[in-house]
Amino acid sequence: MCGIVGAVAQRNIVSVLIEGLRRLEYRGYDSCGVAVLDARGPTRARSVERVADLEGQVRDGNLEGVTGIAHTRWATHGAPVTDNAHPIFSRDALALVHNGIIENYEGLREMLRGKGYEFISQTDTEVIAHLIHSLYRGDLFAAVRAAVAQLHGAYAIAVLHKDQPHTVVGARQGSPLVVGLGEGENFLASDALALAGSTERFIFLEEGDVCELSLDGVRIADRQGEAAQREVRQVAAYGGAVELGPYRHFMQKEIFEQPRAITDTIAQTDAFDASIFGEGAGQVFADIDSLLILACGTSYYSGLTAKYWLESLARIPTQVEIASEYRYRESVPNPKSLVVVISQSGETADTLAALKHAQGLGHKHTLAICNVGTSAMVRQTELSFLTHAGREIGVASTKAFTTQLVALFTLAATLAKLRGRLNDEQEADYLKQLRHLPAALNSVLALEPQIIAWSEEFSRKEHALFLGRGMHYPIALEGALKLKEISYIHAEAYPAGELKHGPLALVTEAMPVVTVAPNDALLEKLKSNIQEVRARGGQLYVFADADTKIVNGEGLHVIRMPEHYGLLSPILHVVPLQLLAYHTACARGTDVDKPRNLAKSVTVE
Ligand code: F6R
């Protein structure tokens, strides 16, 4: 999704800005741009192609400057054309980049037209540029503070003005923005990752903050306009760019990294001890009587899976809700409920807003399960568990999902132990299973050649059904999501028992039905569902545990999984579905790591 980089220095800053954009590229964008200040005012280059094209333009045009801002745009208002690409100018005096959505832009645009401002783009961003310009009286910091007070919606912005050649002003509300501190130079970015190589000292701006970067310092005002001191954090973990190695795509690499990612995630777990979730977790866990899980997309499906573990192992009532729905409905808060937000990025706008909404309703206990330790979600919650999946570049989430599942299983087992429902022997057994999981995953990954053979068939289909039962139903949902995201094949998932209540009408020879078949208590029921599909000429593609006795037959294609893995089985069963989606997408020739219309970190509503 959109990315911001800004810098004030005494050296030509263009390469820092371009490198910053390159580091944010994996998040998805459809245009990009950069602007620097020189004696005449801001000059810019913009492209509706990749950052590499922008870099070429910058080189050819000899764009140079010591103060600049840059942007990758993921279109919301207005098509991805050059006029809508950022930086957006106001009267050739001011340049601005913006992440987020301004909800009251139409009213502001009318007001600004009344003042004689001409609108060139279709963006909501242009109103911010003109608004700040209209309020500018020689102090950009003051003009930005006055302007943001009139904005409704979510934004992170970076602005420069020709009359202040060594100043970049930033502001944030509902969209992340960090300041990077250098020696005699300072930076701004929507993600600290963009500034790797330039600094390791960061200030994570808070909601409502406005900041002014100059050569020798940074000043920050809070929402009330009061001078604010913010903690400076040392973040060294942003190293170099992630390499693809022998893999064709980052998604494939990340699928194969899952054994390693899970090893890292469980490294901190010698026992199911509340302290893994942060200081004071023991007290919080003793206080609560239920869980409310809030998340989006794949992270939501990990929450749905966890509900089965939390209710069966820990016997704790668990509600799982899509964050974008929860934040806007009237719910009945329970202050004794632990609110758990699950997010790979920790910056997803809907999940963050749902968290704040829950806190506003009086939920005082909150826990983030997240892959980014410095993210807004981790900073905003009382407790946290970091998944240690490592950076996930592919837009379609894979290793983040399986490590979330490991985190959530750990949570369920910890709560079960605290509630007297897990004895020492069971604890030792679950810990052993967790430690064996990476090896078990490796044997599932070894099924890749068989899955590639299936993917050829799938690549010629336009629709697919996914079936699962019990805690493997969310795995079927995740399999369908993966397939549609990257191969653009329409896919839907159902709990297998629902088939005859409607979706069976869709089953014909042309409809592949992917079935997740673990050897659990629901196996016999699932076998009946399989027969229902076969009887209608449907083509079944079944991932069956070794001991299920489901074998190849007419209309029945089986890939044999290892032996049933008990409660942790969903973590194994999702992997062949990831591989099926991946290889089907490859066979269709789609842009696997950057599927159309999607972005890695959804920082707008
Ligand atoms: C799907 C996918 C998305 C994300 C969702 C939430 O492959 O990646 O559905 O899971 O956008 O993102 P996070 O986990 O960053 O909150």
> Is residue 419 assigned to a domain?
yes
Residues 257-295 have pLDDT tens digits of: 999 999 999 998 999 999 999 999 999 999 999 999 999
Residue pointed to by tokens 């629901």: 522
Residues 550-571 have pLDDT tens digits of: 999 989 999 999 988 999 999 9
Q: Which of the listed ranges 18-27, 224-233, 402-411 does the model predict with the highest average pLDDT? A: 402-411
> What number of other Cβ atoms are within 10 A of residue 28's Cβ?
22
pLDDT recorded at residue 599: 77
> Is residue 594 assigned to a domain?
no
DSSP 8-state assignment for residue 95: E
Is 127 exposed, middle or buried (CB count within 10 Å of its CB: 0-12, 13-18, 19+)?
buried
> Is residue 9 assigned to a domain?
yes
42-49: average pLDDT: 96
Which domain range does residue 386 map to?
Answer: 250-444
In one-letter notation, the amino acid at residue 59 is: R
In one-letter notation, the amino acid at residue 300 is: Y
In a shared domain, residues 384 and 438 = yes
In a shared domain, residues 401 and 495 = no
> Is residue 93 assigned to a domain?
yes
Q: Look at residue 196 and tell me whether its pLDDT is greater than 90.
A: no
pLDDT recorded at residue 539: 93
Query: 449-452 contacts: CB < 8 A, separation 24 or more?
Result: 450/559, 451/559, 451/576, 451/579, 451/580, 451/583, 452/583
Q: Is the CB of 343 under 6 A from ligand 1?
A: yes
Chain center to CA of 377: 12
Question: CA-to-CA distance for 93 and 75, rounded, in angstroms?
Answer: 24
Q: Is the CB of 297 under 6 A from ligand 1?
A: yes
Give the domain-ending residue among 202, 234, 266: 234
Query: In this structure, what CATH number is given to the domain that contains residue 128?
Result: 3.60.20.10
Please tell me whether the peptide bond between 87 and the residue prior to it is cis, using omega within 30 degrees of 0. Answer: yes
Number of domains observed in the structure of the chain: 3
> Is residue 241 assigned to a domain?
no
> Is residue 596 assigned to a domain?
no
- Ligand 1 mutation pick, 1, 296, 327, 340, max ligand atoms within 8 A of CB: 296
The radius of gyration of the chain from alpha carbons, rounded to an integer in Å, stands at 25
pLDDT recorded at residue 237: 54
Percent of the chain's residues with pLDDT above 90: 84
* 346 alpha carbon – ligand 1 mean position (Å): 10
Residues 495-551 have pLDDT tens digits of: 999 988 999 999 998 899 999 999 999 999 999 999 889 888 899 999 999 989 999
- 296 vs 236, which has greater pLDDT? 296
Q: Is the CB of 519 under 6 A from ligand 1?
A: no
Residue 549 CB contacts under 8 Å (≥ 6 apart), including other chains: none
Indicate the pLDDT class of residue 239, thresholds 50, 70 and 90.
low
pLDDT recorded at residue 312: 97
323-348: average pLDDT: 95
In a shared domain, residues 190 and 55 = yes
Residues 432-481 have pLDDT tens digits of: 999 999 999 999 999 999 999 999 999 999 999 999 999 999 999 999 99
In a shared domain, residues 531 and 584 = yes
pTM for the model: 0.82
In a shared domain, residues 280 and 218 = no
Q: Is the CB of 396 under 6 A from ligand 1?
A: yes
In a shared domain, residues 130 and 35 = yes
> Is residue 182 assigned to a domain?
yes
92-101: average pLDDT: 95
* 5 alpha carbon – ligand 1 mean position (Å): 23
Segment among 5-9, 212-216, 243-247, 300-304 with least mean pLDDT: 243-247
pLDDT recorded at residue 603: 73
The number of the ligand 1 atom at minimal distance from the alpha carbon of 395 is 8
Q: Is the CB of 252 under 6 A from ligand 1?
A: no
Query: In this structure, what CATH number is given to the domain that contains residue 379?
Result: 3.40.50.10490
In a shared domain, residues 76 and 221 = yes
211-223: average pLDDT: 96
Indicate the pLDDT class of residue 241, thresholds 50, 70 and 90.
low
Q: Which residues are catalytic?
A: 2, 600
Q: Look at residue 240 and tell me whether its pLDDT is greater than 70.
A: no
Q: Is the CB of 47 under 6 A from ligand 1?
A: no
In a shared domain, residues 461 and 440 = no
How many angstroms separate the Cα of 377 from the Cα of each of 81, 229, 321, 348, 492? 33, 21, 17, 9, 30
In a shared domain, residues 454 and 431 = no
* SS3 per-residue string spanning 148-192: HCCCCEEEEEEEEECCCCCCEEEEEEECCCEEEECCCCEEEECCH
In a shared domain, residues 83 and 153 = yes
Give the domain-ending residue among 444, 470, 485: 444
The number of the ligand 1 atom at minimal distance from the alpha carbon of 295 is 16
Question: CA-to-CA distance for 437 and 571, rounded, in angstroms?
Answer: 9
Give the domain-ending residue among 421, 444, 467: 444
In a shared domain, residues 254 and 401 = yes
In one-letter notation, the amino acid at residue 265 is: T
Average pLDDT along the chain: 94
> Is residue 482 assigned to a domain?
yes
In a shared domain, residues 472 and 507 = yes
